[in-house]
Structure 1
Amino acid sequence: MTGQISATIGNPPDELDLSGLKCPLPVLRTRKALRTLPPGAVLSVLSTDPLAVIDIPHLVRSEGHVLLSQESRAGAARFTIRRGAD
């Protein structure tokens, strides 16, 4: 299910598992996923790409979203992002 958004209703935030994907795919798929969500929605992104810790926060800031949290452990990074207003 790599690269897919979990669409479980009532279990926010939506999760995007990008494990195993290399730059630039994690940031491109994160951008695409955020564009499908309504303003204010929360997306959790999991990535094993070491460059994601630079690229995803930059994407979030440059597109007007909010990085709620960023965690790194066991070779993976998890980002929690709130989609900004259009």
Structure 2
Amino acid sequence: TLSRALGASRQFPPLLVHMIANGESTGRLGEMLDRAARLQQQELENRTAALTALLEPLLLLMMGGMVLLIVLAVMQPIIEINTLLK
């Protein structure tokens, strides 16, 4: 059966394999595949949202660091010239 083949491959989550096995045994495989697809889509959206929530502050800090480096690169020669003139 499809559920045995998917379970043997160990590439699919156990919940998906159980849902397909349940769909095969009840004769509602199409409905179970639709439900499994919705669950997988929701899980993907949740993971994407979590990754975005983690990366956003990190990218903000990196951009702040780059701005700081640019400001220091501009200000350092000005400060050196100022100290030489004194």
TM-score by length of 1: 0.21
Higher RCO structure, 1 or 2 (CA under 8 Å, sep 6+): 1
TM-score by length of 2: 0.21
If each structure's helix is expressed as a fraction of its own residues, which one has the higher value? Answer: 2
